[in-house]
Chain A
Amino acid sequence: MSGAPAVAGRQDEGAFARPARGRAVSDHPLPWLLPLVLILLAFTVYPLFYNIYLSFHEYAPFKRALVWVGTENWTRLFADGRLWDSLGVTLVYFVVALAIEVALGMAIALLLDADEPGFGFLRGVLTLTLVIPPAITGMMFLLMEDPQFGILSYVLKLFGLLDSTTPILATPSLALAGVVLADVWQWTPFMVLIFLAGLRALPVEPYEAAMIDGASPLQTFTRLTLPMMGKVIAVAVLIRGIDLFRVFDYVYVMTSGGPGTATYSLSLYAWQQTFSFVKWGYGATISLFSLVIVLVVANLFIYLAKVRW
């Protein structure tokens, strides 16, 4: 506090004591918030409003400019069969992948929630799938599910689970399952990690009380573990669910939406409209539409599941 007059009662301000004369640092919060505010403005708020702007325009190739089209994109949206198809595909993908990842993640987390030798290593290994870029995972599964030399196709055929001539990713009824498989492989460990963190933080005493009260392992799980893990599961479902809803990488790399439109997700459709067909306005409208769905569903979920941040 060089130069600052010693004032009783001000001593406790320590390092935050105001320097004397003229070098005053503003108490106003704005300068401190400004960097974050600028980043948010540039990368979140501006693109959002630009998207809204785009959704009321369309790119006219011959004029090489955006022209005002009013609500045309929005009315087209509700009449577009392909859009509703892709929404259906996305919802199936979302529900199936989420259900498997939650159930499988919980099962593995329960198995790993013990202090056996080697379990620490196993818990560490789990993180490995998460460092692989999703597009690469897609390539890996594309190869593994290849009908001629894919190991996965080979094994499935070995066990008679797959007809010897069926290509997984080219069969309409199987293609989505083939893509979900890649998602499940990559993201189940993420669920395991969250669930494990939750399980390890649970108190021990209620379990001892439950042992004395005579609860079976299944009763202990359904009446104690699941309710105590409720919030953790809800947060995991929320994070993973939002991610699943905008699935793009796997379908883009593995099937490009095919065969036909069997794996055509909403994100892929928005991408196709925007970048392949240069329908910037309509592409923006589709993304806004999916944003609205995510916002509504996610907030409804937060409200119903009583998630507290």
Chain B
Amino acid sequence: MATVEYKGIGKSFGSVRVMKDISLLIRDRGFVVLLGPSGCGKTTLLRMTAGLETVSEGDLLIGGRRVNGLHPRDRDIAMVFQNYALYPTMKVYDNIAFSLQVAKLPPEEIRKKVHWAAETLNLTPFLDRYPKALSGGQRQRVAMGRAMVREAQVFLFDEPLSNLDAKLRAHMRMEIRQLHNRLGTTTVYVTHDQIEAMTMADTIVLMQGGRIEQIGTPDEVYDRPANRYVADFIGSPGMNFLEGVVESQNGAPVCRAGEAVIPLPHDTAARPGQKVVCGLRPGEVRLDPNGPIVAKAIIAEPTGPEVQLYAEVAGQRFVALVPKGNTFREGDPLRLSIDPERVHLFDAESGARV
């Protein structure tokens, strides 16, 4: 049982308070991704979990035990660093074996564990090499092997894939997730890449400016973003935002933004006259000759399976993903439509979901 619990965690560097009141419970065997832009505090939170940064306020519990003042080695954690942090003067074998060697385990047991880790990670042919003779992906796997043999209850990952190329990254995403399932550990994973977060997490914690913006499953965060910030951060290409006013049209609620009329869910909580921001995901907008959203084409970018269409709606930039084969010229008038249930509505002032 290794839950990780943050109770009112805060962090100050000198007199600068960079984080406050972070409360979060990570269940046993959970895969939690801390997601956010640079400087949002996600790495600081992870390093506090590891014991590499002190906790300024609040309580940090691992497996129900308060670990605030505990040395990293006594926290039952393993960590994979962004730059791998391999020991440059040790061969791969010793890199993986180091934690076992310093714990003075019997050599035979160490050998078994290292070979098990190396086999799992396809590192066996490289055990005699030094880190500098390995590729980025191999180094990454050595770092994971080092974490694996520790048999820790909690795995901490600090942007482990950010130095890999796109193809390898996709592959390692799957491997890390598989490993997590196989080892049955609790994982806290830090990234700024929303695709990593969406594909790997069972819970996403979206952070900004030292605060948590939303906690939820990838689907929840994608389908019901708590506020405009979350909606903007999740999804690629990003969500379109149109400022408008809620009206009633033939008894149905709509949002009017200039010439464009965006249908709203019939049970929306928005009141007529309320100033709102409508959020429309590019992939959920359709080309529709009778659609209520009036637009003007700007440029179309083929991406392979579909075309990314840049347009102008009510004087604001708008992106739609449309089927391939469509061609557009600049200035072409367009009409778009969207399922009212798929429109996200945010208060124009607070940015909170309506």
A residues near B (Cβ < 8 Å) are 203, 205-206, 208-216, 219, 223-224, 227-228, 230
Contacts and interface: CB of A to CB of B under 8 A. Distances in A.
A212 B78 contact: yes
Nearest to A220: B102
Interface string B137-166: 000000000100010000000000000000
Interface residues on B, range: 20 to 34
B102 A206 contact: no
Contact of A215 (B52, B78, B102, B146): B102
A216 B98 CA distance: 12
Residue of A203, A205, A227, A228 with highest tally of chain B CB at under 10 A: A205
Contacts of B52: 208, 211-212
Contacts of B72: 208, 211-212, 214
B44 to A, nearest CB: 14
Interface of chain B, helix or strand or loop or mixed? loop
Interface stretch (B79-87, B200-208, B262-270, B305-313): B79-87
Contacts of A219: 102
A215 B150 CA distance: 13
25 contacts: A205-B84, A206-B85, A208-B72, A208-B81, A209-B86, A210-B87, A211-B51, A211-B52, A212-B51, A212-B77, A212-B78, A212-B79, A213-B73, A213-B98, A213-B146, A213-B150, A214-B73, A219-B102, A223-B98, A223-B102, A227-B89, A227-B90, A228-B88, A228-B89, A230-B89
Nearest to B81: A205
B320 interface: no
B254 interface: no
A284 to B, nearest CB: 45
A206 B81 CA distance: 9
A205 B102 contact: no
B139 to A, nearest CB: 12
B16 interface: no
A224 B77 CA distance: 21
Given A203-B88, A211-B52, A215-B73, 17 more contacts: A205-B83, A205-B84, A208-B79, A208-B81, A208-B85, A209-B87, A210-B98, A211-B51, A212-B50, A212-B52, A213-B99, A213-B150, A214-B102, A215-B102, A223-B98, A228-B89, A230-B89
Contacts of B150: 213
Q: Which 3 A-B pairs have the closest CB atoms?
A: A205-B85, A214-B73, A227-B89
Nearest to B71: A211
Contacts of B87: 206, 209-210, 223-224
B73 A212 contact: yes
